[in-house]
Amino acid sequence: MERIKVGVKPVGKPLHAEWVTNDLQSFQNIVGGNIELFRVTEGLAIICNEEGRINGMRYNCKLCGQQFFGDIAFVGIAGENFTDCADIKLLKIIFGEV
């Protein structure tokens, strides 16, 4: 199975790069349940827990007007496929971690 490099932003912790297997189970493990995809740009998306707020997960961050609860992952998008997140350094700047 293919592995991709994603940006993982745990609640209350810095964003970091992580290599994960590119499958549903891996992303469910990161976010702690069923996933929801929030597209940021044509080539970048956020994967979050689709019921994070409802399930009482802790607040993580607000990006593009959307609040996220629980751990999130940033992935690259190519067509309908997840790919490496090429913008991890930029994301660290956005989160003030550089």
Instruction: Summarize pLDDT for 45-83 with one digit per residue, the tens.
Output: 999 999 999 999 999 999 989 999 999 999 999 998 999
Average pLDDT of the segment spanning 14-25: 95
CB 36 within 8 A of CB 48: yes
Quickly state the pLDDT bin for 18 (edges 50, 70, 90).
Answer: very high
Q: Is 26 helix (H, G, I), strand (E, B) or coil?
A: helix
Quickly state the pLDDT bin for 22 (edges 50, 70, 90).
Answer: very high
Quickly state the pLDDT bin for 98 (edges 50, 70, 90).
Answer: low
Average pLDDT of the segment spanning 27-36: 97
d(CA 77, CA 80): 7
Beta bridge partners of 54: none
- E strand or H helix that includes residue 92: helix 88-94
The reported pTM is 0.92
Task: Give residue limits of the domains in the chain.
Answer: 3-94
Helices and strands in the chain, H and E counts: 2, 8
